[in-house]
């Protein structure tokens, strides 16, 4: 009887330690908060070596800061790793599993970027070429790592930067004001976590994909973000997809949006000098 009770008591901790399994990905723990361990799922190019210095990207899943899974960006990681990047899809704390707020989500995002940079020599990554990407709330996390100061874990080494060098954003939440999305989750602190209201000189080059019928992210918001980026001299590319709705970019969604967004993302990295050669048409589809 005592043994049964012991096993039952251990179940929550065993569950919290379970790792999402993604085929072909190497798993690295980048953070632990209490009993919660957070992992990165890393896809390497063929023949990759620790001594390489490849560009990298860390993706953050969507789900309203409430749920979601790193599997969302598995196709993007598989594609980019075949193109020569170290592509990573990250776990981070969310409300449904960890009773957290968007502030913890952003802290985890910054921790993930910092961990990759701090371990660049072990991962075969160029620490000066790390991008962040994401969709919806995950797009917010990525955009916040690139724009919002602060929101760092106190015990981490701030000498290692948590800011990415480029952003790839799919229908991202980047206005947390009362006129934007998620204000009820952040309220009086909205401005410190709202990427659009923290754009400053040196903001990373950014590419954004948005559907014109997105009910959460107005086209006007995306256009204002684009305007503010260009006003400070930072590169900004905005692609609007007629009649597309929220989440349109995901693989398997109706329409040809996924391959088109993949192609534009590829060209974006080629233009930055992070990728070379021709678009991988086979992996794109």
| CATH number of the domain that residue 268 is part of | 3.40.50.1820
Per-residue pLDDT at 234 exceeds 90 = yes
pLDDT of residue 282: 58
Domain span including residue 149: 25-284
User: Is the residue at 17 inside a domain?
Assistant: no
Mean pLDDT value across residues 260-270: 98
pLDDT tier at 2 (50, 70, 90 boundaries)? Answer: very low
Would you say 84 and 48 are in contact if contact means Cβ atoms under 8 Å apart?
no
Would you say 274 and 85 are in contact if contact means Cβ atoms under 8 Å apart?
yes
Mean pLDDT value across residues 118-145: 98
Q: Which of 44, 74, 81 is nearest to 59 (CA)?
A: 74
The least confident of 11-15, 122-126, 172-176, 179-183 is: 11-15
User: Is the residue at 105 inside a domain?
Assistant: yes
Cα→Cα distances 54→45, 90, 273, Å: 9, 18, 11
User: Is the residue at 7 inside a domain?
Assistant: no
pTM, rounded to two decimals: 0.91
Residue 132's H or E segment, with its range, is strand 125-135
User: DSSP assignment, residue 16?
Assistant: H
pLDDT tier at 3 (50, 70, 90 boundaries)? Answer: very low
Per-residue pLDDT at 1 exceeds 50 = no
Number of structural domains in the chain:
1
Mean pLDDT value across residues 117-132: 98
Rounded CA gap, 51 and 266, in Å? 24
Would you say 37 and 16 are in contact if contact means Cβ atoms under 8 Å apart?
yes
User: Is the residue at 127 inside a domain?
Assistant: yes
Rounded CA gap, 198 and 143, in Å? 10
Angle at 66 between CA 62 and CA 70, to 5 degrees: 40
User: Is the residue at 19 inside a domain?
Assistant: no
Rounded CA gap, 203 and 27, in Å? 30
User: Is the residue at 16 inside a domain?
Assistant: no
User: Is the residue at 29 inside a domain?
Assistant: yes
pLDDT tier at 254 (50, 70, 90 boundaries)? Answer: confident
Rounded CA gap, 34 and 219, in Å? 40
User: Is the residue at 166 inside a domain?
Assistant: yes
């Amino acid at each position: 009887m005592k043994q049964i009770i012991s096993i039952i008591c251990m179940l929550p901790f065993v569950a919290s330690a379970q790792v999402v399994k993604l085929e072909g990905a190497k798993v690295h723990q980048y953070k632990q908060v209490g009993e919660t361990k957070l992992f990165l799922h890393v896809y390497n190019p063929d023949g990759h070596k620790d001594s390489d210095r490849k560009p990298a990207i860390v993706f953050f899943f969507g789900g309203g800061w409430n749920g979601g899974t790193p599997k969302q960006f598995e196709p993007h990681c598989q594609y980019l790793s075949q193109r020569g990047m170290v592509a990573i899809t990250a776990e981070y704390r969310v409300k449904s599993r960890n009773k957290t707020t968007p502030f913890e989500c952003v802290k985890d995002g910054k921790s993930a970027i910092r961990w990759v940079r701090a371990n660049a020599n072990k991962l075969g990554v160029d620490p000066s070429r790390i991008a962040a990407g994401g969709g919806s709330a995950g797009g917010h996390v990525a955009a916040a790592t690139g724009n919002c100061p602060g929101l760092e874990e106190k015990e981490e080494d701030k000498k290692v930067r948590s800011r990415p060098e480029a952003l790839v954003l799919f229908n991202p939440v980047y206005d947390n004001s009362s006129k934007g999305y998620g204000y009820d989750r952040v309220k009086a602190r909205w401005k410190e976590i709202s990427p659009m209201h923290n754009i400053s000189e040196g903001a990373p080059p950014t590419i954004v994909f948005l559907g014109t019928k997105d009910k959460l992210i107005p086209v006007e918001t995306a256009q204002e973000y684009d305007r503010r980026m260009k006003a400070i001299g930072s590169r900004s590319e905005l692609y609007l997809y007629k009649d597309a709705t929220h989440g349109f970019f995901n693989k398997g969604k109706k329409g040809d949006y996924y391959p088109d967004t993949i192609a534009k993302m590829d060209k974006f990295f080629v233009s930055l000098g992070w990728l070379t050669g021709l678009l991988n048409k086979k992996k794109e589809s």
